[in-house]
Amino acid sequence: METHAHGPQVIADPETLNPAKRTLVLNGALPGDETLEPVEEALLALLREERTEIRGYAMRDVPLAHCQGCFECWTTTPGLCKTEGDAGREIAGAMIKSDLMVILTPVTFGGYSSEIKKAMDRIICLVLPFFRRVDGEVHHRRRYPRFPAVAAIGVLGAPDEEQARIFRALVERNARNLDCPVTAVCLLPADAPPADVHDRLAADLEPVLAHVGGRVA
Amino acid sequence: MSARRAVLLVGSARPPGTGNSEALASYLLARLVEGGMETEVFHVHRCQRPEKERALFEAVDEADLFVLSTPLYVDALPYLVTRCCERMAAHRAAKPTEHRSRMVALVNCGFPELEHTLIALDICRVFARQAGFVWSGALGLGGGEAIGGKPLEEVGSMTRHVRSGLDLAAEALLADRVIPEEAQRLLARPMIPSRMYTTLGDIGWLRTARKKGTLRRLWDRPLG
């Protein structure tokens, strides 16, 4: 994906867009790692079939300050991270305006890469500080009426059942905490043949593609 | 024979001396010092420059015990901790050594239930495996904001179970054993009943907002 160092790039041809649907792609490839490129190509092809507007960030090219854990986005500048001058607010805004957020990442100790975490840590401004209970467990209340559907695509350097389990659990817990309407997880080996990549993505992401393509209510 | 060494990495981005992760780990480290260990403390947000990062990696390479104490950020390790772990694993893979340090992880979160920390603790265990540490166990703590960044003894009887759990953990680590399950059971006991914690938390946000003059804007949707 060609992505500018500052600001998102609209990837699809505007004439083909379904203006009602937006997809945000966060690519968490680490510097020097090109193993996600074929997966990203196959993903974009699938998303274009859904005629959704696609915005993407190659996070390694996006300078972003770390979350300071100060909670000022809840009390001092409600709904906005206090840090200005980087893409943090822009990415949080793109996220909440999307119908689908796709996290593309090397599976890192079972979780997301640091490049994805760089963005994810800056989104607590999207929820309220107040608590709610879901199935007996405490979570934060929504700030916005809805959160996008989430698809997480993890690329594993070698088969690793433990990391695969952790990755699925992380996506599920993110979805519960952020109140996502639909989620999908796709785990791929780094050396998967391109045809397999396309087929696996199409099969595993079906629930969220249907959501963004307007094929489900 | 030289004293055994423990290196603590604090994963909070809050200023030194003010975070809950540091308060928890400081208590553990104090018990390790009483048991004859030497300790050294690093803060992850102060290890971003190459020379600071190198100092951390070298200290961990030579340590007998690596302690990672971190808050939970969006269900996992914070960005800076994840980045540090990625780079430390690469450093250790490039420089294999006979010396096998042990590693423990402490993860605390602002939700009352410690279950929120379990994925981050799993991530720490996989990191330990990939970076060549001997895994010595982990402890999760819910309701960490109740500590208020203060030393656990100062917080008072509310942290009695937490301190007992950390005492057990220190005892095991000094004997080169894995942290016992009983230590986690002790930390699992809530410092404050869950409903009281969430009520006090909600009131606290409102009070802070009133002081800052943002009470009416607290529910704003500036990005939507």
Rounded Cα distance between B194 and B69, Å, is: 23
Rounded CA separation A177/A140 (Å)? 7
Q: CA nearest A117 in B: which residue?
A: B79
The per-residue pLDDT for A13 is: 57
pLDDT in tens, B96-123: 888 889 999 999 999 999 999 999 999 9
Residue A170: its chain B contacts at CB < 8 A?
75-76, 119
Q: Please tell me the least confidently modeled range out of A13-22, A91-100, B16-25.
A: A13-22
pLDDT at B3: 84
Window A:162-201, CB contacts with B under 8 Å = 162-163, 166, 169-170, 173-174, 177
What pLDDT score does B180 carry?
A: 98
B150-185 residues labelled b (16+ CB within 10 A) or e (exposed): eebeebeeebebbbebbebbbbbbbeeebbeeebbe
- A17 lies within 8 A of chain B by CB: no
Question: Do B172 and B207 reside in the same domain of the chain?
Answer: no
Task: Looking at the structure, tell me whether residues B122 and B198 fall in a common domain.
Answer: no
Q: For chain A, what's the residue count?
A: 217
* Residues of the domain holding B208: 193-224
Q: Is the dihedral of CA B41, B25, A64, A169 positive or negative?
A: positive
Does B213 lie in the same domain as B168? Answer: no
Chain B interface, best mutation among A108, A118, A146, by max B CB count within 10 A: A108
B143 with B185, same domain?
Answer: yes
Question: Does residue B124 share a domain with residue B188?
Answer: yes
- How many structural domains is chain B composed of? 2
Same domain, B181 and B197: no
Spell out which residues of chain A touch residue B85, defining contact as CB-CB under 8 Å: 109
Both B166 and B217 in one domain: the answer is no
Same domain, B131 and B223: no
**What tokens appear for A179 in the block?**
């109140």
CATH number at residue B102: 3.40.50.360
The domain ranges of chain A are 9-212
Residue range B145-164, pLDDT digits in tens? 999 999 999 999 999 999 99
Residue A6 confidence (pLDDT): 46
Model confidence at A10, pLDDT cuts 50, 70, 90, reads low
What confidence tens digit (pLDDT) does each residue in A135-190 have? 889 999 999 999 999 999 999 999 999 999 999 999 999 999 999 999 999 999 99
Rg (Cα) of chain B, in Å, rounded? 18
Q: What's at A182, amino acid-wise?
A: V
Residues B84 and B26 in one domain: yes
Residue B117 and residue B211 share a domain: no
Contact list, B126 vs chain A (CB under 8 Å): 109-110, 162-163, 166
| Residue A104 confidence (pLDDT) above 60 | yes
Residue B200 has pLDDT above 50, yes or no: yes
Under an 8 A CB cutoff, do B79 and A169 touch?
no
Asked whether residue B88 falls in the same domain as residue B42, the answer is yes
What's the one-letter identity of residue B101? S
Judging contacts by C-beta atoms under 8 Å, the chain B residues touching residue A163 are 126
Options 3.40.50.360, 3.40.50.720, 3.40.50.300, 3.30.530.20; CATH of A9-212: 3.40.50.360
Q: What DSSP string runs through chain B? A: -PPPEEEEEE---SPTTS-HHHHHHHHHHHHHHHTT-EEEEEEGGG--SHHHHHHHHHHHHH-SEEEEEEE-BTTB--HHHHHHHHHHHHHHHHS--S---EEEEEEE-SSS-GGGGHHHHHHHHHHHHHTTPEEEEEEEES-GGGGTTS-HHHH-GGGHHHHHHHHHHHHHHHTT-PPPHHHHHHHHS-SS-HHHHHHHHHHHHHHHHHHHT-GGGTT--TT-
